[in-house]
Every structure is written in C-alpha cells, then in structure tokens.
Structure 1
Amino acid sequence: MVIDADELVHVLGLWGRPVTSVKRLAGGWNSTSWLVRGASGDRHTLHVAKLADSADGDAFRSGLRVAGAAAVRGFPSGAPVPTVDGRLTVDVPEGVLGLLRYVPGRSPSATSEADLRRVGSTLARAQLAVREAAECVSEQRRWPWAWADVCLREVPMAPGVRAAAARALDEARAVTARSSPRMGVVHGDPGLDAFRLCAGSVRDDGLIDWGAAMEAPLLYDLASFGVMARGTPRALLPCLEGYRLRAPEVGGELRHFDALVRLRWVCHVLYFASRLARGIVRGAASGAENEERLAEAYASLRGDGNGAPDVLSPGR
C-alpha cells in the first residue's frame, strides 16, 4: 500500500520542515519515493521522501546510517534528515518512511565511456567514504552474510534453485577466506540510476539509494555493476578503468570477479524469490517479471544465462 499525498505531507510534519508540494517519482523496485519541495525563509529546498516496506525496515535503516556516514566524509549520498526528535525513520501503516537530502545531478549514459569512467571513479570514492562504517550495518548484513542463510532456509524456492544459490554463496565465502580481498561496506546495488553526475566538478558526483548496503568484498560492487549493465557489455570496462584510477589495488582481485558475479546472482535469486513469496510487483513491468528474473538468475548460476562481461578476457 502507498501512502497518499495528503497523509504524506501530514507525516512529514514530524521533520519540522514546511512542505509546499510533493511529487511521486518514477521507478522503485524496493521503495516508493517522492520529491519534496519546501521553503526556508526565501530559500527553496528539495528533499526526497522514501517509503520502504516494513519487512525491509532493517535494511532501509542500515542504508540510511551508511549514507549518513558517507555524508560526514563529504560524499554526496542522499543522507537522511532526522526528525525533530532525532529519528531517521517513522513507522506508518504503509511501511517505514525516511526523508533524504536531495542530490542534484543527472544519470549517466550507458553508451558514454566518459560517463562510465566517472561511474567507476564515483564508486571507488563512495567505498572509501564508507569503508570503515561497518558499525552502521546491522549484524546480519555483515560478511559472511547471515541474512543470506536465513533466506535460503525460509524463502520458498525450488530445490534446484536453492542448491545452486547455496553453492555459489559457499564459493564466495571460500574465495574470501582464501584470498583476503579488500573488505568493507559496499553500496550493494550500484545501477546506473543510482549515480548522480554533477554539472560542475566530478568531485561532486554522488551515489544514492543505499538500502542494499552491506559489508562484503569491495569487488562485489563492481561485479554487481557488471551484472546490472549486462545489456550493455561494453559498459563494464570503462567503469573499471575509472575505478582503478582511484583504487589500483583492485587489479590483484579481478581473478575472483566471476565468483563475485555469481554471488550477485545469489542475491537476485533471494530477492526475486522473496518478492514472489510476498506478492510484490512494484517496479516490475508485468506480474510475471519476478518469475522471469528468478529464472534468469538461476540460469546464470548454472552457467546458461548472460552472466556478466569477463573482465579478464583477451583485449581487456
């Protein structure tokens, strides 16, 4: 259920900020968002109100804490604005509501190498800003991801799907234990629409929507980007180039890229199986899309799907 505009304006009064208008924003697989316009004296203000499902409240609050930690380090993250009494979120009958700082900018183009290099650079900056923010993440979302074991036990899915996801999760844990890659807080869902490229300095480029933030190998974010940009296979290389300019040590970790790609597909399995179990269709183009995305994730874990571009292939 989505809160109506009048009720939203009423609840936003808990933040003590005058609201002149609210406008529903498009998209949103995990939440519903509104652009909130206000005024402070003769200055106009912009914020984003975000409503998450109650079942996702823990992850939502973790993400807000991480975004807040990034903002403290000067990184544009869509940080939370506390209520008058200091809360990051407010429980409403429709879910969990937060108010976020608006981050100006545009979404990157999937066909612009310059934009994609900025994406990689921004991702590296974001990880640096939150790398030591593990205390902001709930215990279950710290590596090696107790939440994933809970989902594998409790979320309904076919036995073959469950087994494939469990094998890939075990593989990622073994790789991490064996190779000791860089670890820290990751964004968790760095799709192109989460990046905000600034018209001014690239140092002001930002990354928003931290609701999937977790502790993990830092390479996981690049693997996630590769999976989400699989429809534009050439997008990964310039993103990686931009990332390496700020974090050259990633070069020694790329031999584990495929294992982290499979870990991303595990998250797809758990996410879409959970949506099916909870009857969530928000963000989907059709009611069958959850089933189609789950089937795609299973195929990719079996090696039959699109996977993600190979960053170690000849010519790369």
Structure 2
Amino acid sequence: MRHDRLLSALAAWDLPLEHAEPLHGGWNSITWLVSSRTGDRYVAKLADTDSAAAYLSGLRVAARAQSRGLTSGAPVPLVGGRLVAELEEGVLALLEYVPGRTPDTASPQDLRRMGALLARAHRVLGDDADDLGEQHRWPWPWVRACLRDLDMPEHLRRAVTEVMQEAREAAPLLRAGVVHGDPGPDSFRLSEHSPDLDGLIDWGAVLQAPLLYDLACAAVLTRDTPQALRHLLGGYRTVDPSIARDLEHLDLFVRVRWMANALYFTDRIARGVLRGSGGPAANEEGLAEAYAGMRALPAHIRVPPEYG
C-alpha cells in the first residue's frame, strides 16, 4: 500500500497522523510505525480479508487485556467505536505503540520475564472466550474444517488427526483459558523501566485452549536457544506455581503446536501465499519441519527433568 493511500485510510481515525514507516517482518500482515504531529506513535496493521474474523478476535482480546492492566498494543477505536477500517486491500487497525525492546533469548533473565508476562496474560484473560469466534474456541472446530477442506497427503492428515485426538483426550485434565497463540520473542516488549510495564502484542492468533498451548508455542519459537524452555518455565512459575500440575502434558502440546504449523503451511501452499517467506520452498520446508515435529520431539524442547 502506498504511503499516501495508507494515510488517507488512517484519516478515518480523526487523529493528526502525518507519517508512516514500514516495519519489517510479518507472515500474516503488513505493519507500519505511524507518527503524529503531536509526537504520539502508533502501529497500523493491515490483515487479509480472509483472516478478518480471527484478526477482530485478537483486537477485542487485546483491548480487554489492556483494560485489565496488561500492556497489549490495544486497538485505537475509530470514530463511532469500530476497531477496523475495511479496505480493498484488507482490514486495517490502528494500535497503541508499545515501547520497549525485543527479548534477548540468550539472556535467562529476559526469558524469565517472558514466562512471567505470559502467566500474567493468562491470569488477566481467564477463560472468558466471548471475544472469540466459535471456530477458535476449544476443541477448535477450525482443525476439523482444515481436515475437511484442505488438500493434504494422507500421512499428514493421519498425523494431524492423531495429535488432535490426543490433545482432546488430555484437555479435561488441564486448565484452559484464552491464550495468545503465537508468543514468540517478537511479541514481547520489555520495558526499560520495570517488568511490570512489559508488553505482549500481536494477538492475531488468539485462541481458547489449555494454557499449556502458549508454553508449547514459546518452546517451539525459542527452539534454537539451549535452555530457553527451562528459563521460560521458571518465569511462568513465579506468577503461577500451579502450572506444575499440567506440565506432564507439555510435550503433547508441543506436538499440537507443530500440528498447527502443519495446517498453517498447508493452507499457505494451497492459496499460494508467499508473504514473509523466502518463496515457495520456504512454505514446503516449514511444512516438512512441522510434520517432523509432530512425529518426534527434539530433546531440547522437551520438559526439563526438574519440571517433569
């Protein structure tokens, strides 16, 4: 989207916005850092129309989290209260800018702050799934829809079915709630002033699920850092020691995360989506890695012995 076209669309917010700078990354959306004549900063985020329902769920959850004291990059409502502007290019939201830095995954202290913030988010949001569409409430009708509608090899379909069945059988033993759904390092903003001001942003993958799912996602998304999971769990337990009762099922939910990745890449391949990737080969490689993750867990993202 051209700069002038973006600023024209942002006029719907009736704010003195004057400049937008593209931000890097983004597999599922396009983002800009937006500044105003008064010095305030925001983030503009454009999502595909096909993912509008999930995007709106995430915006509503972020607003609820912010209202309960968690820094979340909440949406700024348009005049009239709507959260998005519907454009030819997709759906556009204006988000509060969250200052801070991305965690250093080589730092045990930063990893513990990530874990503690994730536990705070779970505590704040609880299990109120009213902001979510039915497809994204447990036990995830969207998985059944993918199995029904997506063209995939039989071995992949069988693996997805088996992993999801195991998760549904284990879920009654576990605490559930509204989870972020994609808590990688880039979704955390660590405050230079106080951990109490740390922020959790990018809520476009929000779900209702066993709380373990977010920890499993974090384990997968920090898998290149030895000992990362140990420090994440340590930070989480400083806020919520009772998570220890659920951790015997964490390995299963790591496989569930890989299952979600497998469906994600299968859908991208089917629709020819290349945004954020290195081309078609990156989608195929992502799918192959996800399938391998469903079948056998690397030792470094298993539950550490002291938490087992």
Pick the TM interval, shorter chain: over 0.9
Q: Is residue 81–residue 100 contact of structure 1 (8 Å, CA) maintained in 2?
A: yes
For 1:183 and 1:217, the matched residues in 2 are separated by 4
Structure 1 pair 105–119 and aligned structure 2 pair: CA distance change class (3 A): same
Structure 1 pair 133–253 and aligned structure 2 pair: CA distance change class (3 A): same
Aligned with 1:44: secondary structure?
coil
Shift of 1:134: 1.0
Tell me how large the CA RMSD over aligned residues is: 1.4
Shift of 1:287: 2.8
Aligned with 1:69: secondary structure?
helix
Aligned match for 1:211, one of 204, 210, 230: 204
The aligned residue for residue 46 of structure 1 is 41
For 2:271 and 2:80, the matched residues in 1 are separated by 33
Q: Superposition pairs for residues 138-149 of structure 1, below 5 Å? A: 138-149=133-144
Aligned residues, how many? 308
Shift of 1:228: 1.1
1:250 and 2:248 equivalent? no
The aligned residue for residue 288 of structure 1 is 281
For 2:274 and 2:282, the matched residues in 1 are separated by 8
The aligned residue for residue 232 of structure 2 is 239
Aligned match for 1:167, one of 151, 158, 162: 162
Deviations 1:24-82 (A, max 9, x none): 0000011000001013xxx4111100001111111100000000000000111010111
Structure 1 pair 221–273 and aligned structure 2 pair: CA distance change class (3 A): same
Query: Aligned AA for 1:276?
Result: I
Query: Aligned AA for 2:213?
Result: Y
Aligned match for 1:182, one of 175, 180, 191: 175
Q: Which ranges in structure 1 are unaligned for 5 or more consecutive residues?
A: none
The aligned residue for residue 112 of structure 1 is 107
Q: Is residue 261–residue 307 contact of structure 1 (8 Å, CA) maintained in 2?
A: no
For 1:183 and 1:237, the matched residues in 2 are separated by 22
The aligned residue for residue 89 of structure 1 is 84
Which stretch shows the higher mean deviation, 147-156 or 182-191?
147-156
For 2:12 and 2:83, the matched residues in 1 are separated by 11
The aligned residue for residue 261 of structure 1 is 254
Shift of 1:307: 7.3
Structure 1 pair 315–225 and aligned structure 2 pair: CA distance change class (3 A): closer
The aligned residue for residue 27 of structure 2 is 29
Aligned match for 1:124, one of 119, 124, 130: 119
Query: Aligned AA for 2:88?
Result: P
Shift of 1:315: 8.9
Q: Is residue 269–residue 280 contact of structure 2 (8 Å, CA) maintained in 1?
A: no
Q: Which ranges in structure 2 are unaligned for 5 or more consecutive residues?
A: none
The aligned residue for residue 195 of structure 1 is 188
Shift of 1:308: 5.6
Deviations 1:196-253 (A, max 9, x none): 0000010000100000000000111001111111111311111110000001011010
Q: Is residue 227–residue 300 contact of structure 2 (8 Å, CA) maintained in 1?
A: no
TM-score, normalized by length of structure 2?
A: 0.97
For 2:228 and 2:269, the matched residues in 1 are separated by 30
Q: Stretches of 4+ moved more than 2 A in 1?
A: 305-308, 312-316
For 1:55 and 1:286, the matched residues in 2 are separated by 21
The aligned residue for residue 60 of structure 1 is 55
TM-score, normalized by length of structure 1?
A: 0.94
Q: Tell me the percent identity.
A: 48
For 2:58 and 2:300, the matched residues in 1 are separated by 26
Query: Aligned AA for 1:17?
Result: L
Query: Aligned AA for 1:28?
Result: G
Structure 1 pair 307–285 and aligned structure 2 pair: CA distance change class (3 A): farther
Deviations 1:168-222 (A, max 9, x none): 0111000013x1x111100000000100000001000010000000000011100
Structure 1 pair 207–307 and aligned structure 2 pair: CA distance change class (3 A): farther
Shift of 1:139: 1.2
Aligned with 1:288: secondary structure?
helix
Query: Aligned AA for 2:232?
Result: C
